[in-house]
């Protein structure tokens, strides 16, 4: 039975309150628009509730535990270091609650209406929102679709008690004794590392010839070395084929480099990618253009084939990154408000919170070579940085790529402690058209990891101070 059906008119309707949707809504409200947001679950979306934020909290907790067990080299010995996993989960939940509550406060302060439920397009300027037995209609002048994505489920590994997506893995109430991770991308490596540091015997099955495909092999080698020290078994060129449930878990059947093998574990974590949430919106029924993968086709403003409807985040082309979605959300809101806004992806960073962290922005050395560019490289090691050594983080390097003739910064790759933070300076350099000399002449505080960027620029210019010029 449907109870009531009323029609409400809004200026801008945002569907989805994740890092793309809530940012788009706030920016549109700042620009004088009347905004309403439809959200079927929790404010903050996957990122704040079951993705970016809780995973990073778990990563930090696992590092804290691991560090506490290995401080002898600094003359500090800790005995009986234990994990109360229930309290770890409680602490993580507190962070999530604080941040999602913050989004609710921002919505209230910006006079943004929250509409609980699921939206279905009925025309180019109207949706029906289903919430329990209630169905209401909302007419809009403009709409921004920001429905995000969900984990891909493999037919041979249906999600259930023993087969987990990242969502269920982050909600486990105990530390598994063993786990098979199918997929060695950033989610698999991050979560696999978390459980390995907590003591889980982890096996990673990755179909490509290296984990974290897309990053340069010289970066990945350091991550692999650290994983192996944690006791993680890594199988590349591995195809997971099926499983059999056992009394205490599962037996995973796989083909590794052409040979049949099997791995027994308590749980299987499937991290083989994410699927865009566009299949239940009714967008095809109103004539919106989508790709074969279900991604919505948009222009440089985020505008779909229906002029008053925009789409952002995981449901459009490009990497499924929260910061990309937020950026696109601001562009779409500004375009709706009549500003000359359009996307520019030349300085969008990619970060993996592995151990050590890896980050990149702009183009890689391989891309520069493939494009036939006349470039120069500055590769400076963490081992020559005083701050890195003083915090026991001497592994890794910062690599800058720049145009040889002009010194214009084109890209960077970092592997090492705090790579996720260091990359921001280089992203700014690319965005503003800075040169190696600009970075070199910027006075960096000492002793800091930030100096690595300056030192890499000096090296690329041919006059490094803290390493010999080869």
* 375-431 pLDDT tens trace: 999 999 999 999 999 999 999 999 999 999 999 999 999 999 999 999 999 999 999
pLDDT under 50: residue ranges of the chain: 1-2
Residue 455, classed as helix, strand or coil, is: helix
Would the annotation count 124 as a binding residue? no
Q: 7-151+275-336 belongs to which CATH class?
A: alpha beta
Give the model confidence (pLDDT) of 145-185 as tens digits: 999 999 999 999 999 999 999 999 999 999 999 999 999 99
Which of 405, 319, 406, 414 lies closest to 364 in space, CA to CA?
Answer: 414
Known binder of ligand: residue 188? yes
- In contact, 6 and 135? CB cutoff 8 Å: no
Q: Is 56 annotated as a binding residue?
A: yes
We find that the CATH architecture of domain 163-272 is 3-Layer(bba) Sandwich (3.50)
In CATH terms, are 163-272 and 350-461 the same topology?
A: no
The whole-angstrom separation of Cα 8 and Cα 174 is 46
Q: Which helix (H) or strand (E) holds 350?
A: strand 350-352
Asked if 405 and 337 count as a contact pair (C-beta separation under 8 A), the reply is no
For this structure, is 446 an active site residue? yes
- Is there a binding annotation on residue 292? no
- DSSP codes of every residue in 413-437: EEESTTHHHHHHHHHHHHHHT-BHH
Does 189 appear as a known binding residue? yes
pLDDT for res 4: 54
Nearest CA to 295 out of 207, 308, 281, 307 is that of 281
The answer to the question of whether 372 is labelled as a binding residue is no
Closest CA to 418 of 437, 396, 390: 396
Q: What is the residue whose two structure tokens read 């499937």?
A: 270
Tokens at 244, concatenated: 């059999």
pLDDT at position 1, please? 42
| CA distance linking residue 338 with residue 333, whole number of Å | 9
Q: Is 245 annotated as a binding residue?
A: no
Name the catalytic one among 323, 446, 463, 466.
446
Contact at 8 Å (CB) between 119 and 128?
Answer: yes
Confirm or deny that 186 is annotated as ligand binding: yes
Number of neighbours of residue 197 by Cβ within 10 angstroms: 23
149 is in an annotated binding site: yes
Q: Is 411 marked within a binding site?
A: no
Question: Could you say which architecture CATH assigns to the domain 350-461?
Answer: 2-Layer Sandwich (3.30)
| Of 163, 145, 141, 166, the residue nearest 154 (C-alpha) | 163
State how far Cα 197 lies from the chain centre: 21
- The Cα–Cα gap between 96 and 99 comes to 5
Three-state DSSP at 464 gives coil
Two tokens, residue 73: 């080299």
Query: DSSP labels for 234-271?
Result: EESSEEEEEEEE-SSSEEEEEEETTEEEEEEESEEEE-
Measure the CA angle with vertex 295, ends 30 and 207; round to 5°. Answer: 120
Question: Is residue 184 marked as binding?
Answer: yes
Is position 206 annotated in a ligand binding site?
A: yes
Dist CA 179 CA 202 (whole Å) = 5
Q: From CA 114, how far away is CA 38, in angstroms rounded?
A: 6
* CA torsion, ordered 362, 448, 469, 226, to nearest 10 deg: -70
- Smallest CA-to-CA distance from 350 within 216, 167, 181, 460 is with 216
Tell me how crowded residue 338 is: count the other CB atoms within 10 A of its CB: 8
Closest residue by Cα to residue 16 from 134, 116, 136, 110:
116
Spatial distance between the Cα atoms of 328 and 30, rounded to a whole number of angstroms: 16
The domain locations on the chain are: 7-151+275-336, 163-272, 350-461
């Amino acid at each position: 039975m449907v109870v009531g059906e009323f029609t409400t008119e809004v200026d801008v309707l945002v569907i989805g309150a994740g890092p793309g949707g809530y940012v788009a809504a706030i920016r549109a409200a700042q620009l004088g628009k009347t905004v309403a947001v439809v959200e079927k679950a929790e404010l903050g979306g996957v990122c704040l509730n079951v993705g970016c934020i809780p995973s990073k909290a778990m990563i930090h907790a696992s590092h804290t535990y691991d560090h506490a067990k290995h401080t002898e080299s600094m003359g500090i010995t800790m005995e009986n270091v234990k994990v109360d996993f229930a309290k770890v989960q409680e602490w993580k939940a507190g962070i999530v609650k604080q941040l999602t509550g913050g989004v609710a406060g921002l919505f209230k302060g910006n006079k943004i209406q929250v509409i609980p439920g699921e939206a279905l397009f009925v025309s180019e300027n109207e949706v029906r929102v289903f919430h329990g037995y209630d169905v209401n209609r909302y007419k809009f002048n403009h709409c921004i679709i920001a429905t995000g994505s969900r984990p891909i489920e493999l037919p041979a590994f249906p999600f259930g008690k023993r087969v987990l997506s990242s969502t269920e893995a982050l909600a486990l109430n105990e530390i598994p004794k063993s786990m098979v991770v199918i997929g060695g991308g950033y989610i698999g490596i991050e979560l696999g590392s978390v459980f390995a540091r907590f003591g889980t015997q982890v096996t990673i099955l990755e179909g490509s010839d290296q984990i974290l495909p897309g990053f340069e092999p010289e970066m990945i080698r350091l991550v692999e070395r650290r994983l192996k020290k944690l006791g993680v078994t890594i199988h590349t060129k591995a195809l997971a084929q099926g499983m059999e449930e056992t009394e205490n878990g599962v037996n995973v059947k796989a083909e590794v480099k052409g040979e049949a093998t099997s791995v027994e574990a308590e749980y299987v974590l499937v991290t083989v990618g994410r699927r865009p949430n566009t299949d239940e919106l009714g967008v095809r029924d109103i004539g919106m253009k989508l790709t074969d993968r279900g991604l919505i086709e948009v222009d440089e403003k985020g505008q779909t084939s229906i002029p008053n409807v925009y789409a952002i985040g995981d449901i459009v082309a490009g990497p499924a990154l929260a910061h990309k979605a937020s950026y696109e959300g601001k562009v779409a809101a500004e375009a709706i408000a009549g500003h000359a806004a359009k996307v520019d992806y030349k300085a969008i960073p990619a970060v993996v919170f592995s151990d050590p962290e890896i980050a990149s922005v702009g183009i890689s050395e391989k891309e520069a070579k493939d494009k036939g560019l006349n470039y120069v490289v500055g590769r400076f090691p963490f081992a020559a940085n005083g701050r890195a050594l003083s915090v026991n983080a001497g592994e890794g390097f910062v690599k800058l790529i720049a145009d040889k003739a002009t010194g214009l910064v084109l890209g960077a790759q970092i592997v090492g402690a705090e790579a996720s933070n260091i990359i921001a300076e280089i992203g700014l350099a690319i965005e503003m058209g800075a040169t190696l000399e600009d970075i070199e002449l910027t006075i960096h505080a000492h002793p800091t990891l930030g100096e690595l960027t300056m030192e890499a620029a000096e090296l690329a210019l041919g006059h490094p101070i803290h390493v010999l010029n080869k």
